Amino acid sequence: MKTTPSVLFVCLGNICRSPLAEAAFRKAAAEAGQDAIADSAGTAAYHVGSPPDPRSIAIAAHYDVDIANYAGRQIAAADYTLFTHIFALDDANLADIRRCAPGNATAEIALLLDVVDGREGQPVLDPYYGDEEDFETTWADVSAAAEALVARLLTGRD
Ligand code: 4NP
């Protein structure tokens, strides 16, 4: 029996980008009828227990996803075996995720935009010090990745 894909999205603070990546993925998977488990985390512990940034909550709401009840958490050793995929939002996140990986890690670890044709190696830029337009860009980036990822999961390549 094929296991249900389980995907963890990881940025620095888990209040701006990775909650949006989780939300976009949940939306894309639901629309495609793809069964999947999704969560998000930060490499840092700055915002453990906090809701997403209000600008992330607003942009997700604009695209009909409610993330107001998400709570920040830090990536943990168990995540590397619990999830089938761990996606980093940028290169610094990717390096931190790899550095903290336990020896028994089984999850596929990759940069999120690597799943989007033509955008391999690109980061989802941190909008934390930016404005609403930057959050629109974040939503567009994570939505493109979510749709590509769901398409990949539907073809059974993962
Ligand atoms: P995120 O953005 O990694 O996309 O959640 C940030 C959120 C908070 C901080 C940095 C980035 N911070 O320094 O508190």
User: For position 49, what pLDDT does the model report?
Assistant: 98
Which residues partner with 142 through β-bridges? Answer: none
Write the CA distances from 98 to 2, 18, 22, 67, 129, integer angstroms: 26, 17, 20, 27, 26
Q: pLDDT grade, residue 44 (50/70/90)?
A: very high
The answer to the question of residue 18 being in a domain is yes
Count of structural domains, the chain:
1
Q: Is the pLDDT of residue 1 over 70?
A: no
Confidence category of residue 156, pLDDT binned at 50, 70, 90: confident
Q: Give the pLDDT mean for 37-66.
A: 98
Mean pLDDT of all residues belonging to the chain: 96
Q: pTM of this prediction?
A: 0.97
Centre of ligand 1 to C-alpha 42, Å, is 8
pLDDT score recorded for residue 154: 92
Residue 156 alpha carbon to ligand 1 centre in Å: 33
Cβ proximity of 135 and 67 under 8 Å:
no
For atom 12 of ligand 1, the residue with the nearest CA is 13
Question: Which residues have C-beta atoms less than 6 Å from ligand 1?
Answer: 11-17, 46, 126, 128
Residue 10: partners with Cβ closer than 8 Å, 6 or more residues away: 18, 40, 41, 42, 43, 75, 86, 87, 88, 89, 93, 97
CATH number for the domain spanning 94: value is 3.40.50.2300
Please check whether residue 1 lies inside any domain of the structure.
Answer: no
Q: What is the pLDDT of residues 98-123, one digit of tens each?
A: 999 999 999 999 999 999 999 999 99
Query: Tell me, what amino acid is at 51?
Result: P
| Angstrom distance (rounded) from CA 93 to CA 110 | 10
Q: Kindly state the helix (H) or strand (E) to which residue 38 belongs, with its residue range.
A: strand 37-42
Q: Mean pLDDT over residues 115-143, rounded?
A: 98
Query: Which one is predicted more confidently, 19 or 1?
Result: 19
Which secondary structure element, helix H or strand E, spans residue 41, and what is its range?
Answer: strand 37-42
Distances in whole angstroms, Cα of residue 158 to Cα of each of 4, 108, 112, 113 = 10, 10, 15, 16
pLDDT band at 157; cut points 50, 70, 90: low
Range of the domain at 139: 6-155
Rounded CA separation 7/107 (Å) = 9
**Predicted local distance difference test score (pLDDT) of residue 3:** 82
